[in-house]
Amino acid sequence: MENFQHQVVVVGSGAGGAMAAYELTKAGIKVLLLEAGRDYDPKTETPMFQTNAEAPLMGSGNSDKDFGFYDATVDGGWQVPGEPYTNAQDSDVEFMWWRSRMLGGRTNHWGRYSLRFSEHDFKGKTRDGLGADWPFDYADIAPWYDKTESLVGVCGTNTGLDDMPDSSPGVLQTPPTPRVPELLVAAAAKKLGIPLAPMHRAVLTQAKDDRAKCFYATSCGRGCSIGAAFQTTTSLLPMAKATGNLQIITDAMVSAIDVDDVGQVTALRYINKQAGSEQRVIAPVLILAASACESARILLNSKSAKHPKGLANSSGQVGRNLMDSTGTDLGALIPLLRNRPRYNEDGHTANHLFIPWWGHEAQAKGELDFPRGYHFEIGGGFNQPGAWVGGYFQGYGQDLMEEAKSHYGAYVGLSLRGEMLPNDDCYMEIDEHVKDKWGIPVAKFHWKWSEHELKQVAHGLKTAKQILTTMGAEVGELPPPEKAILKGGQIIHEVGTTRMGSSPLDSVTNQWGQTWDCPNLFVMDGGVFASNPHKNCTLTIMTLAMRNASWLAQQLHQGGL
């Protein structure tokens, strides 16, 4: 493709970057996509049917494979050799930064939870005066959610719940049947006035284009060689390449962006990781979709006379407003589930039912001591056995074996995922004293949970205990929220570092992801989020990228850029 003349450069091949590339190439626009990680083909590299018994440590995670031996991530993780990041000494807790470093990014191993943000989520500041509103309404993005769900393939149902906006008729695929532990949770929660609903997941229950429907037999976190569990490497990227308008360069670590005398983007520089040499690419239009913190790092490392605080940072907001989801877990042995008959309970591996946020009305009445909401994801059932950790059982020999068998499938876990509000103590900047192996200054994180999040987690733990005890479990004393809450970044939902808004004074981009300072520079990853609702962010990243790349294509066709 030596004569390939690109019109747009996209940095990143995950949810935002791949969707932007797909939308642009479909519109006839030539796109060059750069990915910092290596090439990856899930059709040949995914261990679909290997059992935990065939793996070291029974498939358990370790420092090289955080989420287990078979996890799809090949070269990334919490720590990437030669590519460090640092935490500021004034941080209350460590911030953890996950990087995939592979074609397709995190879409190869994400949970595929695909919940729409609601009118409550886009206008949180209007409701409670905290954080920032998004520069558009739910009604503006609802049709784009339909398009994204149809293209990606999302299973679920319309519930009518105020936390779960309905999709248009015919958009959602049929969800799988609930499992026994989930039905038991639903019965217990109903007694407490708490509803359950089918989880919406980007997993095909009906075949779509050349992607097969899920056959409920292997963990989605391994990647999916049949394309049933959505990832860009089996869908958006091949679709975009089929247009003839996409060229992909992997192992391309972007270091900085060049601008002209008036401060507009002209090119970007990247390290060819295989050769160790610096390359320069002309960028008539540039889209950053490298992940919230990586895109912000690139901008902050791109200082110039016109952009002394970093590119597109006249507001001073690049790197600020860093948010992650809150997280904590509570589980217990459910006596009713002991020694039940064994059968295949895999389903699409993640929870079929979940507990959406039910407290909007209570918050409006001032009955809760924290703003925003959370949901519970349900764990349990007859999963593939893995390594047992000592301490669960007493005895040895035949008695121990029988006790282990009786407990198999009898545990239920509730995982809280909640909304975090931005605060002045949570942000990233450039560490001027540390560089990665490529000579690029690294990110330094500041982190502190606020009382909003701690009170939310305290409420969630009490609620989870109520549900579990209603199911007959014995639950001990609850830990204090500051001990129970997971670390910043640990949920891998970090967003907000290049947030969109209605004014260049307090935001980095407009509603289209176009930076206020540079009309030919866009951001199309989670960095543009004005808030971080409790729902997983990938569906909204893709939806925004589809909407905003469509707008960009119109501008290019009309000569607006």
Pairing of strands 353-355, 326-333: unpaired
User: Residue 450's closest CA among 419, 478, 477, 489?
Assistant: 419
Q: Is residue 191 part of a domain?
A: yes
d(CA 232, CA 224): 11
The two counts, helices (H) then strands (E), for the chain are: 13, 16
Three-class SS state of 468: helix
Q: Is residue 216 part of a domain?
A: no
Do 292 and 368 share a domain, yes or no? no
Tell me what pLDDT residue 391 has. Answer: 55
Do 345 and 479 share a domain, yes or no? yes
Tell me what pLDDT residue 392 has. Answer: 63
Do 240 and 332 share a domain, yes or no? no
Do 292 and 411 share a domain, yes or no? no
d(CA 16, CA 287): 10
Do 161 and 192 share a domain, yes or no? yes
Q: Which two structure tokens, joined as six digits, stand for 497?
A: 């570092």
Do 544 and 477 share a domain, yes or no? no
Do 475 and 508 share a domain, yes or no? no
Do 464 and 531 share a domain, yes or no? no
Q: Which two structure tokens, joined as six digits, stand for 541?
A: 């990243």
Domain-terminating residue out of 437, 458, 484: 484
3-state helix, strand, coil in the chain (%, to 5): 25, 20, 55
Give the CA distances from residue 280 to residues 2, 32, 431, in Å, rounded to whole numbers and listed in that order.
15, 13, 24
d(CA 141, CA 148): 11
Are 249 and 35 within 8 A, CB to CB? Answer: yes
Placement of tokens 């958009």 in the chain: 171
d(CA 121, CA 133): 8
| CATH code of the domain covering residue 111 | 3.50.50.60
Are 286 and 522 within 8 A, CB to CB? Answer: yes
Three-class SS state of 142: helix
d(CA 77, CA 241): 28
Q: Which two structure tokens, joined as six digits, stand for 281?
A: 């690419």
d(CA 114, CA 324): 17
What predicted TM-score, i.e. pTM, was given to this entire model?
0.97
Q: Is residue 58 part of a domain?
A: no
Domain-terminating residue out of 484, 508, 532: 484
The DSSP letter of residue 234 is G
Q: For every one of its 561 residues, what pLDDT tens digit does the chain have, with 9 covering 90 and above? A: 457 899 999 999 999 999 999 999 999 999 999 999 999 999 999 988 899 899 998 888 888 888 999 999 988 999 999 999 999 987 777 999 999 999 999 999 999 999 999 999 999 999 999 999 999 999 999 999 999 999 999 999 999 999 999 999 999 999 999 999 999 999 999 999 999 999 999 999 999 999 999 999 888 999 999 999 999 999 999 999 999 999 999 999 999 999 999 999 999 999 999 999 999 999 999 999 999 999 999 999 999 999 999 999 999 999 999 999 999 999 999 999 999 999 988 899 899 999 999 999 999 999 999 999 999 999 999 988 777 655 566 778 898 888 888 989 999 999 999 999 999 999 999 999 999 999 999 999 999 999 999 999 999 999 999 999 999 999 999 999 999 999 999 999 999 999 999 999 999 999 999 999 999 999 999 999 999 999 999 999 999 999 999 999 999 999 988
Which residues are CB-contacts of 533 (< 8 A; sequence separation ≥ 6)? 117, 118, 121, 124, 372, 373, 419
d(CA 118, CA 104): 27
State the burial class of residue 365 (Cβ atoms within 10 Å of its Cβ: 0-12, 13-18, 19+): exposed
Do 289 and 304 share a domain, yes or no? yes
DSSP 186-205: HHHHHHTT---EEPPBSB-S
Three-class SS state of 3: coil
The DSSP letter of residue 184 is H
d(CA 228, CA 205): 8
Range of the domain at 336: 157-198+327-418+450-484
Tell me what pLDDT residue 1 has. Answer: 45
Do 229 and 267 share a domain, yes or no? yes
Q: Is residue 405 part of a domain?
A: yes
Three-class SS state of 286: strand
Bridge partners of 384, per DSSP, are none
Neighbours of 143 (CB within 10 A): 12
Bridge partners of 252, per DSSP, are 272
The DSSP letter of residue 459 is H
The DSSP letter of residue 437 is T
Mutual angle of helices 538-558 and 138-152, in 10-degree steps: 100
Do 360 and 398 share a domain, yes or no? yes
Tell me what pLDDT residue 389 has. Answer: 52
Are 494 and 292 within 8 A, CB to CB? Answer: yes
Strand intervals (E) in 403-502: 411-418, 427-435, 441-446
Q: Is residue 74 part of a domain?
A: no
Number of domains the chain is built from = 2
For 494: left if phi > 0, alpha if psi spans -120 to 50, otherwise beta; the answer is beta
Q: Is residue 258 part of a domain?
A: yes
Q: Is residue 409 part of a domain?
A: yes
User: Residue 450's closest CA among 557, 354, 322, 539?
Assistant: 322
Do 125 and 254 share a domain, yes or no? yes
d(CA 278, CA 271): 4
Q: Is residue 11 part of a domain?
A: yes
Backbone angles phi, psi at 183, to 5 degrees: -65, -35
Tell me what pLDDT residue 561 has. Answer: 86
Length, in residues, of the chain: 561
